[in-house]
Structure 1
Amino acid sequence: MELTPSAHTDTFSRGQLPPAEQWPRILPLPQGAHAPERLNAAVELLDRTADRFGQDRPVFRTGAGEVWSYGELRGHVDRIAHVLHDDLGVVPGNRVLLRGPTTPWLAACWLAVLKAGAVAVTVLAQQRAPELAAVCEIARIGHALCDVRSLDDLTGAGVPGLRITPYGGDAPEDLLRRARAKPGRYAAVETAADDVALVAFTSGTTGRPKGCAHFHRDVLAVADTFSREVLRPEPGDLFAGSPPLGFTFGLGGLVIFPMRAGACALLLEQAQPKPLLAAIGEHRVSVLFTAPTAYRVMLDVLDAAGTARGAGARPYDVSSLRRCVSAGENLPAATWHAWHRRTGVRIINGIGATELLHIFISAADEAIRPGTTGVPVPGWQARVVDGAGAPVPDGQPGLLAVRGPVGCRYLADPRQSEYVRDGWNLTGDTYVREADGYFRYVARADDMIISAGYNIPGPEVEDALLAHPEVLEAAVVGRPDDLRGQIVAAYVVLRDGAARDEGTAAALREFVTARLVPYKCPRAFVFLDALPRTATGKLQRYLLRTPGPVAPPAPGLK
């Protein structure tokens, strides 16, 4: 595929794209959607939407009751873009790391980076210094905008040459203080539709992060396929959800989709199931994005509240919900039916991937069939193939292969040829295509652990454990769990003299949590004399997936 002339002065991102022969086949957008050659996604999402629906329309709310209009957001974004260009020297194509809790200011920074023609790299506020250092190394990041509450691990990463600009504080160099002195309008860089707009990071089974490059047209493509064709939001909708903006699931559900539709999003810093339930009733949320685990927990909370109602407990009000979206892990049919009975709302199940930006198989309303993921979203194609890439008959399991208007493009990573074969994206999931065209999830095709919607590469956790002086060997696998789908279980061989007790397990949890995002920390530990291996020394992971005696999870991980 021939790319149009770039507006990027810094050409690193385009230069790191895989060779054309390793790209997936890119399909045209559905009828009624198109992408011109020159396109800035932030202009389309913010400026064009404000022009269509009015500057005074609300775009973001917070749990504290703060309300931002599209006009106010545009002013903040344009002033931040001026700081990026005028004060920080950011040029089109520079990668800018964004880090902080889910707030309107984080969303404003993301939009400003795109308006300035730079490349947004949004990471989780919980990520630790080694993870941040790896991201900065792979993407060659020179600038970072960081919430003052999330500075420690970023500064502790010690990234050479990284210029960190905090926001939300009182220091003279604070981004928002600088922005107040800037003009309220910024002439956005006229980026090409296929200029890189963002790099989203995902981990493979090796634990080495992979940077997934997505273009400006990709940002709009996911809104014009899944959101427009399946979710079908309305301008009066209020979106909310649990995924952070560092996940493309959250970026789409809380920023891209509502803004494309002229709707509003409630951005919550604390979006665990119980506060999320309270926020739904308080703010009258109509569109909800979260993982199956959260739906199961919320059902328990709703049932408990119903039982306690006679004692004067205030019930949760979910009557405002009209759309509920589930992704990140398989949605069991039992959870779907229980939620439908309790709320009257049919959960829209879906499968997406960081490599493809958002959901590509789904179904809504009467087309939903509980226990299946759905059918390809308009604009997308899917099939089930064998190891050689040949389609398998309906009813037989195989590897899920998809293609559409967005495709996988890793930054200079040899794993590109593993994910993309014969023009198709292979997601790493085992699926069955039923005779009626519906796709049913079977399992992950690799050793990735999926827990509560999070993808956790076992080898990465093993590496963290092996850095502990008392650990001789470690193997990490997923163990089935009714609530989370899987939990991270660590099988550890300790050095002589180390105690095999909960005290050691607690110390190992603390050690890992200091190095990795907390959700990657093992919830169960099993101490062994030796790990099971073949005669050639290969670890037999399948023998570890059978549950055995474990140390109980730490209270903070429940």
Structure 2
Amino acid sequence: MELNRSAHVDTFARDHLPAAGQWPDLRFDLPGSPGLHYPGRLNCGAELLDATVERLGPDRPAVRDGSARVWSYGELKAHVDRIAHTLTTDLGVVPGNRVLLRGPTTPWLAACWLAVMKAGAVAVTVLAAQRPQELATVCRIAQVRHALCDTRSADDLIKAAVPHLLMTLYGGSAPDDLLRRAAKKPTSYAALDTSADDVALIAFTSGTTGRPKGCLHFHRDVLAVADTFSAHVLRPHPDDLFAGTPPLGFTFGLGGLLVFPLRAGASTLLADRCGPEQLLERIQRHRVTVLFTAPTAYRAMLGALGAYDVSSLRRCVSAGEHLPAGLWHDWRRATGLRVINGIGATEMLHIFISAADGRIRPGTTGLPVPGYEARVLGTDGRPAPDGEPGLLAVRGPTGCRYLSDDRQRAYVRDGWNLTGDTYIRDPDGHFRYVARADDMIISAGCNIAGPEVEEALLRHPDVLEAAVVGRPDERRGQVVVAHVVLREGVPRTDETALVLREFTKKEIVPYKCPREIVFHEALPRTPTGKLQRFRLRAGALQFPRD
């Protein structure tokens, strides 16, 4: 493994890449791939912004903020370049420094991210909902010394008490506010001549399994996910308007709401997180055409669709969790649109298995995205026969590089990225999700996939959400326990639990049915909406709603 000459003065990120023998096999020339060829010197911020302006002009709409305000590409570039000047001349940020970015999803957060890219620093974008201890952990692992923080999100970062952290606020009225300082800077900034394999960002896993892992991604990786999934599955148009719920601190949101629209010359709606009806209102008001969100949001929006005009939508993308076939069909019947399902990972940066249009098979995730290849591995580590469950392995132009973390050895084996998901490859090449590998329940010697039981429960009209886990049992090894959120007004009684158990027995074989049903007001989720089954397994049964 030989890397190009780095432009980083602060070499922490490159110095803490995994050892050469622990890297995934990065492939840019797989059969049927789009032929990804990137020069040795590359700055993804300049490619996403400057190159798009040069190609399509500065007057196209680029970013909207949820109100009437719209920035053109020229205006966005001017804001980004002023912030980049401020970073390097006023704040002392040098190439390779890690810069924490924290705040609600707004155009200014996006501008800060692009400025960090152009300045050659390393973005560590965190969620506005993260608490002081979580922020302190991220800063310690990534050795963060600079932070750009929305004034509305400053309190918890201050409480984190990160040693030697230089925090600069934006969006306030203080004389030293980042945006006030930036307003005095030139509107043109020459992006740093970074190497294509200089680290551009450290993305932290979202906490579904406890201790977070920092994932190092290069400048070329940022473009590669746009030039694979976005270009060949999503296929955006320059006139598209993107919107969605994932925050920019989640790589699903970074790609879907910033990288993909800018790479295509399209525009994006960057507004703070919202509930299903507010999201529908924004789709109607702004005439959104491309939507990125999770299955839980699609399910929540179904009940309110009749009150809104969503006819502008032409693409709906779902990831973050398994998309049940029933939900796919419900959305199709209600809107006429086929949801593009996909699986991605923070370790891979974005989606690597998906399908669109006529290639969609409801209930499956899809096919390897052009540029990637995937296989299902049996217990012997060899490809499993079609129809047999096993561990999903994938490789392509992006891959896992943990920041100083021994878990690299478990994720990457023989050059393949092992995502921790159990899948089945169907004879026609489609990949079908079974469960997270650690969510397989073994009861009396039988393998039971939690998501299959969840889908059965969700077919009952009184069930809003369901999460199924295994509980240790002396006689059976494990028993199936279902954690359920009911529709308003349905009593949480033993009689209701019995009704749901009997219903499930008619949907799937009886041995897979839950032996215990626990009712909740809400299920535990990360700020990005991912279900935290580890908390259910641990018996933490009271969860605040995000």
Match of 2:4 in 1: 4
User: Secondary structure at 1:178's aligned position in 2?
Assistant: helix
CA contact (8 A) 1:241 1:271 kept: no
Change (3 A) 1:50 1:322: same
CA contact (8 A) 2:250 2:528 kept: no
Change (3 A) 1:441 1:178: same
Q: Distance in 1 between matches of 2:328 and 2:81?
A: 42
**What's the CA shift string for 1:265-315, capped at 9, x where partnerless?**
01121332111111111110000000011101111112xxx4xxxxxxxx2
Equivalent position to 1:212, from 211, 215, 229: 215
Match of 1:421 in 2: 413
Match of 1:470 in 2: none
Equivalent position to 2:382, from 356, 365, 390: 390
Note the residue ranges of structure 2 that are not aligned, 5 or more in a row. Answer: 441-449, 459-466, 470-479, 488-519
Q: Does 1:439 align with 2:431?
A: yes
Equivalent position to 1:321, from 313, 320, 326: 313
- Which residue identity lines up with residue 12 of structure 1 in the other structure? F
Over 6 Å off, 4+ runs: 448-452, 518-526
Q: Does 1:123 align with 2:126?
A: yes
Equivalent position to 2:158, from 151, 155, 159: 155
**What's the CA shift string for 1:87-136, capped at 9, x where partnerless?**
11100000000000000000000000010000000000000000000000
Deviates more, 1:132-141 or 1:26-35: 26-35
Residues paired across the two proteins, number: 477
Equivalent position to 2:332, from 334, 337, 340: 340
**What's the CA shift string for 1:203-235, capped at 9, x where partnerless?**
567622110000000000000000000000000
**What's the CA shift string for 1:372-424, capped at 9, x where partnerless?**
00000000000000234211111000000000100000001000001000110
User: Secondary structure at 2:222's aligned position in 1?
Assistant: helix
**What's the CA shift string for 1:207-264, capped at 9, x where partnerless?**
2211000000000000000000000000000000000000000000000000000000
Change (3 A) 1:387 1:483: farther
Structure 1-normalised TM-score?
A: 0.81
Change (3 A) 1:340 1:517: closer
Q: Does 1:26 align with 2:18?
A: no
CA contact (8 A) 1:394 1:433 kept: yes
Match of 2:462 in 1: none
CA contact (8 A) 1:62 1:267 kept: yes
Q: Does 1:400 align with 2:392?
A: yes
Match of 2:262 in 1: 259
Match of 2:89 in 1: 86
Change (3 A) 1:209 1:331: same
CA contact (8 A) 1:389 1:421 kept: no
Q: Distance in 2 between matches of 1:385 and 1:519?
A: 29
- Which residue identity lines up with residue 17 of structure 2 in the other structure? L
Change (3 A) 1:91 1:368: same
Q: Distance in 2 between matches of 1:442 and 1:52?
A: 43
Q: Distance in 1 between matches of 2:251 and 2:528?
A: 19
Q: CA deviation at 1:34?
A: 1.9
- Which residue identity lines up with residue 22 of structure 1 in the other structure? Q
- Which residue identity lines up with residue 18 of structure 1 in the other structure? P
Report percent identity of matched pairs: 67
Note the residue ranges of structure 1 that are not aligned, 5 or more in a row. Answer: 307-314, 459-476, 485-504, 527-540
Q: Distance in 2 between matches of 1:8 and 1:252?
A: 24
CA contact (8 A) 2:321 2:530 kept: no
CA contact (8 A) 2:201 2:218 kept: yes
Structure 2-normalised TM-score?
A: 0.82
Equivalent position to 1:350, from 342, 349, 365: 342
Q: Distance in 2 between matches of 1:281 and 1:430?
A: 38
Equivalent position to 2:248, from 228, 245, 249: 245
Q: Does 1:362 align with 2:350?
A: no
